[in-house]
Chain A
Amino acid sequence: MDAQLEIQLIAAVVAIACAIPGVFLVLRKMALISDAISHSILPGIVIGFFITEDLNSPLLILLAAVTGVITVVMVEYIQKTGLVKEDTAIGLVFPALFSIGVILIAKNANDVHLDVDAVLLGELAFAPFDRLIIAGTDVGPKSLWVMGSILTITMGMLFAFFKELKVSTFDAGLSAALGFSPVVLHYGLMTISSVTVVGAFEAVGAVLVVALMIAPAATAYLLTADLKKMLVLSVLFGVFSAIAGYWMAHFLDASIAGSMTTVLGLVFLTVYLFAPSKGLIAVMYRQRQQRTEVSLLTFLLHLNNHEEESERHVQHLNEHINWQKVRSETVLELAEKNNLIKISSDIVTLTPKGKEFTDLALEYIITNKDEHIEHMKDDFFLFRG
């Protein structure tokens, strides 16, 4: 296998391994825990490196993962004392641990084959040079084996505990009542996240691991509300950005991890803007539509309340109903298109259909069942606002 292909393969495996725990972190509103873990494992990695002298040693990964879990415990302990708010607790713990790691590296710069750049960016480009040799035969890059095993464990856990994870993520109370301890699942997830972060650390560095965890999940979350689909989508986004990122880095002659993140950012931005129902444009369009339709309803109720012609003159609308956000023209046009009103010599009159709609709407508003209004709109409107 040539080095280019191997790098892409490692990048893709790292992306998948990060995306899976990332989905659960995003859904559990703990996205920033991944940031805290990825920073605070640094002292664990450095100390582990002093002991094992090998960045891919399982012992080092274990040590560093323990540091990650300790961080979570520390954050939770500080939160429990109530001395500071919960987000401050995260913000205090990980910079302190990360600083210790950076200082340890700086003080032992000569002995440690680790520099601060590698900590932030990883060294994906060099990954194929560190081979795993079993009984004299070369079986592939070490980091591919490490990440592959981590991914296998993660997948195994995911399939074995999918139901439990799902329940405890969406309803911790129900999960506890059913006998799946949310605490055990919480720390299980934290452990898996820590191990994954440590494994991915060498490839993509401390900060970008966060992007690989959160961004695919957040992108998928904008597109679907189904957990299984979300998992599949985030894995796809992860793999796509890994491969596209590799080629972008290849052409720009820049950091692979940096360009993977940039691709992820572009994918997220696209989905954020254009997602069918939850994207920014869709949301803004819907809000505008609702604003017009609420104004239309107000206008119809006004017409219904007034028999006298002076109140129903087109010119009067601007004065009487003070619409700042919606132009009265839009509303009039919409009402007329839907056959709710008739305009004859600048006097607006409700049509029988308009009268019927207004009465129904009024009834719904009085009985306070506003969720029915959407069906009503579907029944009466040929055109939406």
Chain B
Amino acid sequence: MELSEYFSQLFSDYTLRTITMGTAILGAICGMLGSFAVLRKQSLLGDAISHAALPGIAIAFLITGTKDTNVLLLGALVSGLIGTFWIRGMVTKTHLKSDTALGLVLSLFFGFGMLLLTFIQKQPNANQAGLDKYLFGQAATLVEKDVTLMAIVTGICLVIMLLFWKEFKILLFDADYTKTLGFNTHFIDILITFFIVLAIVMGLQTVGVVLMSAMLLAPAAAARQWTNKLSVMIVLAAIIGAFSGVFGTAISASQNNLSTGPVIVLVASVFVLFSFIFSPGRGILFKQLRKYQNRRDLELQKTLQFMFDIAKTHENISHPHAILILNNFQGYAKSTLKELEEKEWVKVKGQSWSLTSKGYDAAANLYNNN
């Protein structure tokens, strides 16, 4: 299927519409909650939680024997939460640092999950679980029921986020102050973490455990580059997330043999790369341009100051001087002189320059009016 075909069939084809809705909602909720993860420096927590969810899925299948998504995701939620609290326990109760704790939970839970998965595959009566799709995600398996669930969870998250907006925001930027104001920081903290776990679990079916963390981070990291305002960042991250979800699914559907997860992650990464380079405030491109501009301004000012110091010693400020003497001065360049001339601060005649009265005033006030 061609990409254009995918989009033209979007409105007529029921399955495509469901999948697209699902990935859009998923992208939005991930972007929204990912903003909190990124700002709280919990980016890699998402990675650990998503890997830690795998044994939950396998155990849920072993116990119930169903392939019902909701049951499996409930298992994922439980084991994700256990992983999260174990990480907290390790960091607070032992001298292991958070990176070690995250890496341990990530790899040990995942290894245990893989053991269970291979064990399930060898079982004769297992209805060939198809649990593999949780590794890299398969958006095509989304049905209307899943999308409804996602929509409900997103709705609840949104309502709670709006209710606790003030608390979430203040905890994000000044945890100590929040405590002194008498808020129950522990509760708010757990609430945010719980929602992050929830968002990850919702995405397992579409993006898979291995790459889910990027789905959480990338839209938020991209949105962060365009704004310094939390509300704008969250809305922007939700939009970027939704777009990555829809585009990624469309691309993977139009190719054979391609899991959705990696494609969605790559699309989101393109958004991040674009934002890193082209965002006007923080982007690398404009930062470099500004740096260049500042250096030029500084050189210009230094040259002007140097000229001013020479002109000061003469009675007539516009007394011409040889350009050659400027060569001893480091900030001087031909372009600087040209720019000074354009501003009518100096006049160049042949091989000599002279300061105009306008230039003299500008130089005299150089360090006063900035």
Contact = CB atoms under 8 A, between A and B. Distances in A.
A207 B136 CA distance: 13
Contact of A99 (B89, B102, B262): B262
Interface stretch (A53-61, A83-91, A151-159, A194-202): A83-91
B96 interface: yes
Contact of A35 (B103, B111, B257, B276): B103
Given A35-B47, A87-B41, A96 B214 contact: yes
Interface size class on chain B is 35 or more
Contact of B89 (A88, A221, A278, A280): A280
Interface in A95-154: 95-96, 98-100, 102-103, 106-107, 109, 116-117, 120-121
A254 B217 contact: no
Contact of A254 (B38, B47, B119): B119
Interface of A: 26, 29-32, 34-35, 78, 81, 83-85, 87-88, 90-92, 95-96, 98-100, 102-103, 106-107, 109, 116-117, 120-121, 207-208, 210-211, 213-215, 217-218, 221-222, 249, 252-255, 257-262, 264-265, 268, 272, 278-280, 283-284
B210 A120 contact: yes
A91 B47 contact: yes
A280 B94 contact: yes
Interface string B88-103: 0110011111011011
A249 B94 CA distance: 31
A262 B111 contact: yes
Given A92-B221, A103-B263, A116 B44 contact: no
Contacts of A207: 51, 106-107, 110-111, 114, 210
Nearest to B111: A261
A281 to B, nearest CB: 10
Nearest to B46: A91
Interface in B231-281: 255, 257-259, 261-263, 265-266, 269, 272, 276
B107 A262 contact: no
Given A29-B99, A87-B41, A99 B111 contact: no
A32 B98 CA distance: 10
Given A85-B38, A95-B265, A221 B46 contact: no
A210 B114 contact: no
B213 interface: yes
Given A121-B118, A278-B94, A214 B46 contact: no
A102 B117 CA distance: 20
B107 A283 contact: no
A81 B284 contact: yes
Contacts of A255: 114-115, 117-118
Contacts of B41: 85, 87-88
B84 interface: no
Mostly, the A contact residues are: helix
A253 B115 CA distance: 10
| Residue with the greatest number of chain A CB neighbours at <10 A, chosen from B217, B262, B265 | B262
A101 to B, nearest CB: 8
Given A257-B114, A272-B90, A218 B96 contact: yes
A309 B262 CA distance: 76
Given A254-B118, A259-B115, A280 B107 contact: no
B23 interface: no
A29 B95 CA distance: 12
Interface string B110-150: 11111111110010000000001001100000000000000
A265 B255 CA distance: 39
B6 to A, nearest CB: 18
B108 A261 contact: yes
B100 A26 contact: yes
A261 to B, nearest CB: 2
A258 B265 contact: no
Given A121-B114, A222-B96, A253 B119 contact: yes
B218 interface: yes
18 contacts: A32-B44, A34-B103, A35-B107, A83-B282, A91-B213, A91-B214, A102-B259, A103-B262, A116-B135, A210-B107, A211-B108, A222-B96, A255-B114, A258-B112, A258-B116, A262-B115, A264-B111, A272-B94
Interface of B: 38, 41-44, 46-47, 51, 89-90, 93-97, 99-100, 102-104, 106-119, 122, 132, 135-136, 210-211, 213-214, 217-218, 221, 224-225, 255, 257-259, 261-263, 265-266, 269, 272, 276, 282, 284
Contacts of B47: 35, 91
B266 A96 contact: yes
A83 B225 contact: yes
Nearest to B266: A99
B103 A210 contact: yes
Nearest to B108: A265
B118 A31 contact: no
Contacts of B210: 98, 120, 207
Contact of A81 (B89, B218, B259, B276): B276
Contacts of B266: 96, 99-100, 103
Contacts of B265: 95-96, 99
A127 B96 CA distance: 35
A92 B111 contact: no
A309 B320 CA distance: 100
Contacts of B46: 91
Contact of A265 (B99, B111, B211, B261): B111
A265 to B, nearest CB: 4
A283 B115 contact: no
| Residue with the greatest number of chain B CB neighbours at <10 A, chosen from A91, A100, A255 | A91
Contact of A261 (B44, B112, B132, B272): B112
B111 A208 contact: yes
Contacts of A100: 262, 266
